[in-house]
C-alpha cells in the first residue's frame, strides 16, 4: 500500500523544502563572507528526506540530528530566525549563542539537537525511543545520520540496542555517498547500507532520497511500525549534497560529472515537476512561493544580525544545574 500526502500536505512539504534550500543558500553566502563563526554544513540537495519524514511526526516525537542539521531542524518546525541568531552567536539564538550551527536544539518541538560529533546522535535517539516506550506515549524517535556515521561504533550499538528492546525508532541514513572528502565506497565494503539492518534482525529499506513521494511512503511505514510497537527500521535514503562538505568555497574532490548528474536530480525540481503535472502547483505559484520564502529568509537574517550578543557573564552559566 502506497501512502501519499494529500495536495495540501504536499504544498506544505514543498514550502518546507524551499525554506531549507533558501536557508542554506543564505547561510552558505554568509559563511563565505566569514560572517558566521565556525563551519556550516549545508543540507542543500537532501531536502526531500528531512521534509518527507518530519512532516509525518508529531510535535512530541523527537529527532536527533548531526552536523548537517539545519534541514532537520527546519523540517521539525524550527524557527529560521532563531536558527540564524544561533549561527551568529546571538542571545536570542536557540542555544543563546552557546551552541552554534552544529548544536541547534529545541526540546519543545522535539529537536534533541544537531551534533558536532559523528555518531553522537544515534545512541541518544535510542534513549529517547526508550523513554517514549516507557511512558507509553506512542512517541517515535527518529535518528538522522550520514553514511559515514554508520562506520562509528556508536551507530551499531544503537541499532542493536533498539532492535533488542523493539524500540520505537527510525534510523535514517542519508547516504550522500561521501563522508567529508572520502567516498562511501572508500569507507566500507558494502554500498547498500540498508543491508546493515540484517545483522540486527530489523527491517532495512533503501529509497530514492531525491524523490519526496518515495521518502514519504517509506517513512510512513517505518513510523507506523514504530508506533505499533513493531520495532525499529533502518531507512537508507540515496542522496547527494549539492555543496562541498562545509560549504561552497572549499576544494571539492567529487567528480564534476557526478555532481552534474545529481544536480539534475534536484529534489525541489523533481517535486515541483510532479506537482505541476498533477496541477497542484502552477509554475507561477511555485515562483511566488520561492520569492515569498526568500523574503522570509532575508528578514530572518536581518533579524538575527540586529540581535544583541549574549552578555559575557553568561559564559560561566549553565555548566551545572
Partner 1 sequence: MASMNMVQAINSALDITMERDQNVLCLGEDVGYFGGVFRCTAGLQEKHGQHRVLDTPIAEAGIVAAAIGMGVNGLRPVAEIQFADYIYPAFDQIVSELARLRYRSSGEFYAPVTIRSPCGGGIRGGQTHSQSPEGIFTHVCGLKVVMPSNPYDAKGLLISAIEDDDPIIYFEPKRCYNGPFDGDPDKAAQSWNGHPKGEVPEVYYTIPIGEAAIVRPGSAVTVLTYGTMVHVAEAAIERSDIDAEQIDLRTLLPLDLEAVAESVQKTRRCVVVHEATRTGGYGAELVADVQEECFWHLEAPIQRVTGWDTPYPHAFEWDYFPGQDRIIAAMRCALEV
Ligand X SMILES: Cc1ncc(C[n+]2csc(CCOP(=O)(O)OP(=O)(O)O)c2C)c(N)n1
The residue within the footprint of partner 1, chosen from 25, 77, 130, 151 (CB under 8 A), is: 151
With contacts defined by CB under 6 A, name the span among 110-118, 127-135, 164-172, 311-319 that binds ligand X.
110-118
Closest C-alpha among 21, 86, 39, 72 to residue 304: 86
Beta-bridge mates of residue 206: 236
Q: Which three cell numbers stand for residue 291?
A: 520569492
Residue whose CB is less far from partner 1, 182 or 249: 182
Task: Assess 185 for contact with ligand X (CB under 6 A).
Answer: no
Determine phi and psi for 62, rounding to 5 degrees: -115, 155
The residue within the footprint of Mg ion, chosen from 123, 139, 146, 310 (CB under 5 A), is: 146
Which residues neighbour 124 within 8 Å (Cβ) at sequence distance 6 or greater? 64, 112, 113, 115
Q: How far is the CB of 173 from partner 1 (least distance, A)?
A: 13
Closest C-alpha among 321, 316, 319, 297 to residue 87: 297
Task: Assess 147 for contact with Mg ion (CB under 5 A).
Answer: yes
Task: Assess 78 for contact with partner 1 (CB under 8 A).
Answer: no
* Spatial distance between the Cα atoms of 84 and 74, rounded to a whole number of angstroms: 11
Task: Assess 122 for contact with ligand X (CB under 6 A).
Answer: no
102's contact among ligand X, Mg ion, partner 1, none, with CB below 5 to 8 A by partner kind, is partner 1
Q: Are 250 and 181 in contact (CB under 8 A)?
A: no
Q: How far is the CB of 68 from ligand X (least distance, A)?
A: 4
- The residue with its CB nearest to ligand X is 146
Which residue in this structure is represented by grid cell 533503501?
206
* Residues at the site binding ligand X, with contacts judged by CB under 6 A: 41, 67-68, 116-119, 145-149, 176, 178-180, 245
Amino acid at each position: 500500500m502506497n501512502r501519499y500526502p494529500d495536495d495540501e500536505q504536499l504544498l506544505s512539504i514543498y514550502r518546507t523544502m524551499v525554506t531549507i534550500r533558501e536557508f542554506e543558500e543564505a547561510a552558505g553566502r554568509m559563511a563565505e563572507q566569514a560572517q558566521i563563526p565556525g563551519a556550516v554544513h549545508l543540507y542543500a540537495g537532501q531536502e526531500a528526506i528531512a521534509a518527507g519524514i518530519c512532516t509525518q511526526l508529531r510535535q512530541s516525537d523527537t529527532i536527533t540530528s548531526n552536523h548537517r542539521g539545519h534541514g532537520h531542524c527546519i523540517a521539525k518546525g524550527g524557527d529560521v530566525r532563531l536558527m540564524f541568531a544561533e549561527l551568529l552567536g546571538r542571545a536570542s539564538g536557540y542555544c543563546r549563542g552557546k551552541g552554534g550551527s552544529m548544536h541547534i536544539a529545541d526540546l519543545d518541538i522535539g529537536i534533541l539537537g544537531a551534533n558536532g560529533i559523528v555518531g553522537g546522535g544515534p545512541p541518544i535517539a535510542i534513549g529517547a525511543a526508550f523513554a517514549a516506550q516507557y511512558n507509553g506515549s506512542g512517541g517515535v524517535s527518529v535518528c538522522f545520520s550520514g553514511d559515514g556515521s554508520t562506520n562509528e561504533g556508536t551507530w551499531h550499538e544503537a541499532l542493536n540496542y533498539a532492535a533488542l528492546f523493539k524500540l520505537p525508532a527510525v534510523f535514517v541514513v542519508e547516504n550522500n555517498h561521501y563522508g567529508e572528502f572520502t567516498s562511501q565506497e572508500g569507507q566500507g565494503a558494502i554500498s547498500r547500507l540498508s543491508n546493515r539492518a540484517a545483522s540486527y534482525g530489523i527491517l532495512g529499506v533503501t529509497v530514492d532520497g531525491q524523490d519526496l513521494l518515495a521518502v514519504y511512503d517509506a517513512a510512513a511505514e517505518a513510523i507506523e511500525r514504530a508506533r505499533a510497537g513493531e520495532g525499529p527500521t533502518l531507512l537508507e535514503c540515496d542522496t547527494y549534497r549539492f555543496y562541498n562538505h562545509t560549504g561552497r568555497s572549499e576544494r571539492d574532490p567529487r567528480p564534476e560529472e557526478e555532481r552534474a548528474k545529481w544536480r539534475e536530480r534536484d529534489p525541489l525540481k523533481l517535486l515541483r515537476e510532479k506537482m505541476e503535472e498533477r496541477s497542484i502547483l502552477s509554475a507561477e505559484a511555485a515562483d511566488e512561493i520561492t520569492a515569498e520564502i526568500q523574503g522570509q529568509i532575508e528578514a530572518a537574517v536581518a533579524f538575527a544580525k540586529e540581535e544583541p550578543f549574549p552578555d559575557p557573564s553568561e559564559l560561566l552559566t549553565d555548566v551545572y544545574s
